A and B are shown apart, each in its own frame.
Chain A
Amino acid sequence: MPIDPHSIRQRFPLLTRQVHGKPLVYLDNAATTQKPEGVLEAMDHYYRALNSNIHRGVYTLAQEATDRYEEVRQAVARFLHAPAAHEIIFTRGTTESINLVAQSFGQRYLREGDEVVVSVMEHHSNIVPWQLACQRSGARLKVLGIDGQGRLDMDALDAILGERTRLLALTQVSNVTGRIHPVREIIRKAHALDIPVLIDGAQSAPHLAVDVQELDCDFFAFSGHKAYGPMGIGVLYGKERWLEEMPPWQGGGEMIDRVTFEETTYNELPYKFEAGTPAVAEALGLKAALDFMEAVGMPGLHALETELMAHAWKKLEGFPGMRLYSAVEDNAGVISFLLDGIHPYDLGTLLDRFGIAVRTGHHCAQPLMDHWGVPGTVRLSVAAYNTTEEIDIFAEALEKCAAILA
């Protein structure tokens, strides 16, 4: 049965608000999505009916909260098609997930002269943790380039992966251009050389069906808040064989087996990597977000977004002075662009006056902006609740802004 995008929209209370006296047109979904009622209710319900510190409690309330929390881990494992729930580590978000691997994997496996490979399209969150890990270990960071269409340079990949490469860290979908990279093929190439691969799934998990077993990635990171869930909860999937070998990265409660001043032994997976009281309400919110996405279905979500994007491309492609930094094909819902002679800050500022939220600037990807030689771009990014009417409002406003700024 076809899904009516307007019925999806009704689940998102924030989308009814106005900005500068105009209906909000929220097109900054690659930064964070809005939250459906189910997510808000789950978080509210936790504090009203379940709040207690999880694990270890012998009383009913703590047991209930613990069960609900662990159900989320199961749900995330299903969402990612992970083989086992103990391969799912809760973090604060993609950034923390990548930092966890950079610190822990880095401590265990990175030595002087080793190499870590990233691409020029990475978000700062998938660059800086590796720079820090390289500084600590004496390893080197190597950068995979892109071609004129924003595709990863597959020829260069063969040359850049070598004997000293200890890890390849790549985004599945660019947060700047929306380009979907052929990570499955890349992972296969890396694995042929025994190189493990971390996939930054911050922009892919909300839009594409992810199957970590099919991808065969060694690590996969994503954030709840970019996938209709709350801020402050994220996920790291890691293959058991790596997670077992990797040392803990933060010490505290929960992650220990037995503590004495002479020696501490660590808890088993996944708790070894989860020191301190976790964000339980946020985890339950994440579960509600996954439920929402599963209820619509990832193919359904993708179909809605594809239709929106087709409409957006039609509106933008012929636009006078349009310089596109995204491509139509292999795109997960992002259009990055500039208008000739118009600064993205000016355009973003005026679009806001029309009630339109788009992102302007470098999108936490300064190396990519330097690669293109631009100060930043304007980025429109869609979610399942956006409508073609909103795209029309955006296009009309863009025309008016261009007239003011030309």
Chain B
Amino acid sequence: MSIDDRAAALEQEFAQFGEWLDKYNYLIELGKSVPSIDPQFRTDSYLIRGCQSRVWLHARLEDAVIRYSADSDAVITRGIASMLIRVLDGQPPDAVMGADLSFIDRIGLKEHLSPTRSNGLLAMLKQMKLYAYAFQAREKAGGKS
């Protein structure tokens, strides 16, 4: 499934909730359902420090797609992180780099990706794209040699 299809699926899942409370309940459930980061990567080397909450992110390239895993000490942050993982995990680097993530805005969770929110999520998203960029550069370099 493409990034857009996965994003559309998530948007649809959230559309069933009229109440913000149900939306957040679902968000927290999403956070619980996604497999957590391997404890060996829940360390300072993989930590993205936000002012309000902390996020750990790990990425590896496997069969030309990126496998992401993440965790956070806050459950709402973890929920949003799990949504980003759900749409971007298992995608090739160029798809991640060009990904349109406006679905988060449409779901009504945009505030969590605000640069002033300082919860580590925007930095996580930047880091996910940086990984994609690095993996692509490495693939190209590997292809030439």
Contacts and interface: CB of A to CB of B under 8 A. Distances in A.
Interface string B81-114: 0000000000000000000000000000000100
A353 B75 CA distance: 16
B20 A353 contact: yes
A350 B52 contact: no
B24 A404 contact: yes
A362 B28 CA distance: 23
A353 B27 CA distance: 14
B25 interface: yes
Interface residues of B, number: 16
Interface string B68-89: 0000011111000000000000
B129 to A, nearest CB: 23
Contact of A345 (B20, B21, B28, B76): B76
B127 interface: no
A353 B21 contact: yes
27 contacts: A20-B20, A343-B53, A343-B73, A343-B75, A345-B53, A345-B76, A345-B77, A345-B119, A346-B74, A346-B77, A348-B52, A349-B76, A349-B112, A350-B76, A353-B20, A353-B21, A353-B24, A360-B52, A361-B51, A361-B52, A375-B54, A375-B73, A376-B52, A404-B24, A404-B28, A405-B28, A405-B75
A362 B76 contact: no
Interface of B: 20-21, 24-25, 28, 51-54, 73-77, 112, 119
A345 B73 CA distance: 9
A265 to B, nearest CB: 45
Nearest to A400: B21
Contacts of A400: 21
A343 B74 CA distance: 5
A362 B74 contact: no
A349 B111 CA distance: 10
Q: Binding site of A, secondary structure by majority: helix, strand, loop or mixed?
A: helix
Nearest to B120: A345
A343, A345, A361, A400 interface centre (most CB from chain B within 10 Å): A345
Contacts of B119: 345
Per CB-CB distance, the 9 closest pairs between chain A and chain B, nearest first, are A343-B74, A345-B74, A345-B53, A345-B52, A346-B76, A346-B74, A361-B52, A349-B76, A346-B75
Contacts of A404: 21, 24-25, 28
B51 to A, nearest CB: 6
Contacts of B54: 375
Given A343-B73, A404-B28, 19 more contacts: A343-B53, A343-B75, A344-B52, A345-B52, A345-B76, A345-B77, A346-B74, A346-B76, A346-B77, A348-B52, A349-B76, A350-B24, A353-B21, A353-B24, A362-B51, A375-B73, A400-B21, A404-B21, A405-B28
Nearest to A376: B52
A405 B77 CA distance: 12
A20 B74 CA distance: 22
B80 to A, nearest CB: 10
B114 to A, nearest CB: 12
Contacts of B112: 349
A28 to B, nearest CB: 14
Contacts of A360: 52
A349 B20 CA distance: 12
Interface string A353-382: 100000011100000000000011000000
